Structure 1
Amino acid sequence: MVFLKTNAMRRLINNRLHTWMLLSLVIITCQAMASESVREPITIELKFADSAFGNERFVLKYWHQLVGVSTSSFVVHDEVVGVRTDAGNFRFRVYPSSDQGYFSLGKEKDGYFEHLLYHYLVESGDSVLVVMNESNAFDEVYIQKQWSTYYDGFRNFKSYRPSFFGNGSAKYQCRYSTDSLSLRLSDGKEDKSRDESLAILAGYADKIAPHTYERLRADIVGKNLLEKYRMFSWDVLSLAKKKNGYATIKQIHEMGFTKNSQDSAWINVAVNSPFYLESMLVGLPYAMITDSMPTPERMLKQIDGGYSGLIKDRLLCLLLLTYRDRFESQATVYRQIQRVVRNEGLQKMLHSYSQKFLQGAPAFPFELEDADGKLIKLADLEGKLLLLDFWFTGCSGCSHFFMETLSTIEEEFRGDNRFEVISISIDQDRKRWLNSVDSKRYTSEEAINVYTNGDGSAHELIKFYNIESYPTIVIIDNKGRLYGIYHQGQVSNATIRAMLDPV
Structure 2
Amino acid sequence: MKKHLFTCFLASLCLYGSTLTAQSKGADSPPDKDLVYQSGFPGQESFRSSASLGEAAPVVVYVETKRIESVDSLLFQLWDPYLNENDLPLPEVAQLELSQGTMYDGSRATMRGQWESKPISGYGRLSLRFNKFTYLDRFLVEPGDSVRIRLDFVNARMLFSGPAAEKFRVQYELANAYENYRYDQNPTMFTGDSDYWGYSTEDSLSILNIKNQQSSIRRKMEFVSPGPVGLSHLENIFSMDISSHPGFDILDFYQGKVGEDFLEILRADLIGRLHFDQVFKFSTYYMEDSSHREFFQEKILGKNIPIPAAAKHSAYFPEYIYQKLAIESALSKEPFRHLLGHLPQEVHDQVYAIYIIKNYRLFKNSNRQFELALDQIQTPWVKEEINRLYSAQGIGQTISEIPLVDRQGNEISLNSLQGKTLLISFWLPGCQFSSNAYQSLIKPTEQYFTEDEDIEFVYISHDRLPERWNNNIESGNYSTEESLNLNAPGPPHPFMEYYNIRYFPTFMVVDKDGTVQNIGNIPDLSEELIHYLESINAESKPNQSK
Same fold, TM-score > 0.5, yes or no:
yes
Q: How far has the Cα of 1:277 moved from its partner?
A: 0.7
Distance 1:348 1:77 in 2: 16
Verify: 1:271 aligned to 2:312, yes or no.
yes
Distance 1:294 1:216 in 2: 34
Verify: 1:62 aligned to 2:78, yes or no.
yes
Alignment gaps of 5+ in structure 1: 1-33, 137-159
Pairing partner for 2:142 from 123, 138, 142 = 123
Residues 215 and 269 of structure 1 are in contact (CA less than 8 Å); yes or no, is this contact kept in structure 2?
yes
Query: Which runs of structure 2 are paired with 1:344-383 in the superposition (5 Å)?
Result: 344-383=380-419
Residues 58 and 120 of structure 2 are in contact (CA less than 8 Å); yes or no, is this contact kept in structure 1?
no
User: Which residue of structure 1 aligns with residue 274 of structure 2?
Assistant: 224
Q: How far has the Cα of 1:215 moved from its partner?
A: 0.6
User: Which residue of structure 1 aligns with residue 92 of structure 2?
Assistant: 78
The structure-2 alpha-carbon separation of the partners of 1:78 and 1:465, relative to structure 1 and needing over 3 Å to count, comes to farther
The structure-2 alpha-carbon separation of the partners of 1:306 and 1:416, relative to structure 1 and needing over 3 Å to count, comes to farther
User: Which residue of structure 1 aligns with residue 198 of structure 2?
Assistant: none
Verify: 1:459 aligned to 2:498, yes or no.
no
The structure-2 alpha-carbon separation of the partners of 1:259 and 1:135, relative to structure 1 and needing over 3 Å to count, comes to farther
Distance 2:257 2:135 in 1: 24
Residues 58 and 118 of structure 2 are in contact (CA less than 8 Å); yes or no, is this contact kept in structure 1?
yes
Verify: 1:251 aligned to 2:291, yes or no.
no
The structure-2 alpha-carbon separation of the partners of 1:368 and 1:126, relative to structure 1 and needing over 3 Å to count, comes to same
Task: Give a deviation string over 1:442-499, Cα, whole Å, max 9, x none.
Answer: 22224312334xx443333344445555x34241422445556549x99553456435
User: Which amino acid in the other structure matches residue 351 of structure 2?
Assistant: L
Q: How far has the Cα of 1:41 moved from its partner?
A: 1.2
User: Which residue of structure 1 aligns with residue 217 of structure 2?
Assistant: none
Pairing partner for 2:370 from 323, 334, 338 = 334
Tell me the matched-pair count.
Answer: 422
Distance 1:260 1:481 in 2: 47
Q: How far has the Cα of 1:404 moved from its partner?
A: 3.3
User: TM-score w.r.t. structure 1 length?
Assistant: 0.72
User: Which residue of structure 1 aligns with residue 121 of structure 2?
Assistant: 98
Distance 2:466 2:83 in 1: 39
Q: Indicate the structure with greater helix content.
A: 1
Pairing partner for 2:173 from 167, 173, 177 = 177
Distance 1:420 1:321 in 2: 29
Q: How far has the Cα of 1:200 moved from its partner?
A: 2.5
User: Which residue of structure 1 aligns with residue 459 of structure 2?
Assistant: 423
User: Which amino acid in the other structure matches residue 434 of structure 2?
Assistant: C
Residues 67 and 154 of structure 2 are in contact (CA less than 8 Å); yes or no, is this contact kept in structure 1?
no
User: Which amino acid in the other structure matches residue 319 of structure 2?
Assistant: E
User: Which residue of structure 1 aligns with residue 475 of structure 2?
Assistant: 439
Pairing partner for 1:47 from 60, 64, 72 = 64
The structure-2 alpha-carbon separation of the partners of 1:260 and 1:214, relative to structure 1 and needing over 3 Å to count, comes to farther
Q: How far has the Cα of 1:179 moved from its partner?
A: 2.6
User: Which residue of structure 2 aligns with residue 207 of structure 1?
Assistant: 257
Distance 1:334 1:124 in 2: 32
Q: How far has the Cα of 1:133 moved from its partner?
A: 1.5
Distance 2:97 2:252 in 1: 36
Q: How far has the Cα of 1:135 moved from its partner?
A: 5.7
The structure-2 alpha-carbon separation of the partners of 1:104 and 1:439, relative to structure 1 and needing over 3 Å to count, comes to same
Q: How far has the Cα of 1:55 moved from its partner?
A: 4.5
- The 3-state SS of whatever aligns with 2:456 is strand
Residues 59 and 146 of structure 2 are in contact (CA less than 8 Å); yes or no, is this contact kept in structure 1?
yes
Residues 311 and 347 of structure 2 are in contact (CA less than 8 Å); yes or no, is this contact kept in structure 1?
no
Distance 2:398 2:157 in 1: 44
Residues 275 and 320 of structure 2 are in contact (CA less than 8 Å); yes or no, is this contact kept in structure 1?
yes
Residues 64 and 96 of structure 1 are in contact (CA less than 8 Å); yes or no, is this contact kept in structure 2?
no
Residues 285 and 293 of structure 1 are in contact (CA less than 8 Å); yes or no, is this contact kept in structure 2?
no
- The 3-state SS of whatever aligns with 2:162 is strand
Distance 2:434 2:137 in 1: 24
- The 3-state SS of whatever aligns with 1:41 is coil
Distance 2:58 2:129 in 1: 20
